[in-house]
Amino acid sequence: MKKFKRSIVTFVLMIGMLLSMNQTTVYAKANTCDKPIVIVLDPGHGGHDGGATRYWGGRWYREKTLNLAIAKECKEELEKYSGVKVYLTRSSDYFVSLGGRVQFAKNRNADLFVAIHNNSSISSRMNGVSVYYPNMSYRSQVGKDGKDAASCIQKELVALGIKNNGTHYRNTENGSKYPNKSKSDYYSVIRQSKMWGFPGLIVEHAFVSNSSDCAKFFSSSDKLKKLGRADAKGIVKYYGLVEKDTPTLTSAENDADGNVHLQWDIMDGMDGYRIYRRAQGTSSYTKVTTLNGKEVTDYVDASTKKGTTYYYTIAGYHKGRKKTIYTDMANAIKVAAFETLYTPQNLKVSNEQGAVQITWEATEHTDGYIIERKTANDTEYQVLTQISGADVTSYIQEADAVSADYRICSYRKYGQKIYQSEFSETVSYQQQ
């Protein structure tokens, strides 16, 4: 095969047409393959187990009901953030065993288990909030992580005006031991969570047995929502979550070498971006690259296969406290990585029975050719003709055969866009 001079593509862009036949937005999202942070919220009690129950100010305060309302709000709030998956051990008023609650979390590969409770005492004067976390005597990192998470949640609840009773761990009182012979945790859900390798917390928001706590924090749905949002805010700060959003791909353009140039808008809170693509006819996205940098807004994919149509998408990432958190993928952009356009070679211009005959060698990957001419009266080249057909190698100009300079390029058309190769060297014709 003959060697042709590689061209530099000139893009002829229509104003206002960012997306054309070879570049369109696909309104379909997919999640990244990266594991999200899994939070399991456990609304304590339920069903026949009502938990603490008191009658104050003409109404009943049932812990199982309060716990569920707080947990639901916490879940709703957490789901506003990227890179997190939230589950409830129960979604309505039914009973779940303590072992069943932790097993539920284990089966979902939980990173954190948070039991939502409210306190009670034989003394009606006891009030305030406490959060319990695992001890450090076994799997100390689980204990440290739990303590840090507990502190974050406690701080947000205290900010609501609840008396601060501190964060605590509590060892068993029955002599039970962990595998390393150290004292086990007192609370079953904390102990079992540690055995499965993730921290378990118990949040005692306030005292159902205290009329003032009930009036201040439990007496309306709005007050319960504030408690749930405070729990969520604490978890958000512990993990360093960012509000759910996706970057926006603003353009995807192909060039003469089949590369695809991508651009996107900066997304606040991100530490970098991941580029994904899939080839037309395939169903899954694969990662192209990971880009580090808050201000990165462009990337050139040089690993494309010429002539292949791709769908590109992007996800932002943020380096959180415990792991890197990824956003959902953005809406995808479709773009064709077309084959290289080459400049036609061996352009010749001659007189053929009074007409101008123009010939050249055919090129690959083209839809046709554009011939331009400049006469002595022209200040710049004018389009003489646009010829369709990759195999066409000649053109006869039967009229107006004046002295002029001629040149030729190949072109390809996608939708309303025309992509041109570099023009050939000029060939002069002298009128006979």
Q: What is the pLDDT of residues 295-332, one digit of tens each?
A: 999 999 999 887 788 999 999 999 988 788 888 888 89
* H-run or E-run covering 202: strand 200-207
345-429 matches 245-337 in CATH topology: yes
Tokens at residue 26, please?
């696909």
Q: Using the predicted structure, report yes or no on whether residue 23 has a pLDDT greater than 90.
A: no
Spell out the domain ranges in the chain.
37-239, 245-337, 345-429
Q: 291 or 321: which carries more pLDDT confidence?
A: 291
Angle between helices 188-196 and 140-158 (to 10 degrees): 130
345-429: CATH architecture: Sandwich (2.60)
Say which CATH class 245-337 falls into: mainly beta
The answer to whether residue 360 scores a pLDDT higher than 50 is yes
Cβ within 8 Å of residue 313, ≥6 positions away: 30, 249, 275, 276, 277, 285, 329, 330, 331, 332, 333
Unique residue bearing structure tokens 């909030």: 129
- Reported as a pLDDT band with limits 50, 70 and 90, residue 414 is low
Kindly report the length of the chain. 432
Q: What is the mean pLDDT of the chain?
A: 89
Q: What own/partner pairs with CB < 8 Å and gap ≥ 24 does 75-78 have?
A: 75/41, 75/228, 75/232, 76/228, 77/228, 77/229, 77/232, 77/233, 78/39, 78/232, 78/235, 78/236, 78/241
Q: What is the pLDDT of residue 7?
A: 36
Write the class of the CATH domain 37-239.
Answer: alpha beta
Cβ atoms of residues 430 and 375 within 8 Å? no
Closest Cα to residue 375, out of 405, 408, 409, 407?
405
pLDDT at 353: 82
Can you give the pTM of this predicted structure? 0.72
> Strand 37-43 vs strand 84-88: parallel, antiparallel, or unpaired?
parallel
234 three-class SS: helix
Who contacts 287 (Cβ-Cβ below 8 Å, separation ≥6)? 33, 274, 275, 276
Using alpha carbons, list the distances in angstroms from residue 358 to 172, 362, 409, 416, 429. 96, 13, 13, 28, 10
Alpha-carbon dihedral angle through residues 14, 17, 21, 27, given to the nearest 10 degrees: 170
Q: Mark 199-225 as b/e (b = at least 16 C-beta within 10 Å).
A: bbbbbbbbbbbbbebbeebbeeeebbb
What is the CB-side half-sphere exposure of residue 136 using CA atoms within 13 A? 6
CB 111 within 8 A of CB 38: yes
Other CB atoms within 10 A of residue 87 CB: 17
Percent of the chain with pLDDT over 70: 91
Residue whose tokens read 């554009």: 370
Q: Which amino acid is at 25?
A: T
- pLDDT recorded at residue 18: 32
Please say if the pLDDT value at position 69 is more than 60: yes
* Each residue's pLDDT tens digit, 145-204: 999 999 999 999 999 999 999 999 999 999 999 999 999 999 999 999 999 999 999 999
> 244, 248, 278: which is closest to 263 by C-alpha?
248
Distance, in Å, from the CA atom of 401 to the CA atom of 384, rounded to the nearest integer, reads 12
DSSP symbols for 267-318: -TT-SEEEEEEEETT----EEEEEEE-TT--EEEE--PPTTEEEEEEEEEEE
pLDDT at residue 13 tops 90? no
For residues 401-423, give the mean pLDDT: 86
CA distance 319 to 187: 32
Show the tokens assigned to 175.
Answer: 């002599």
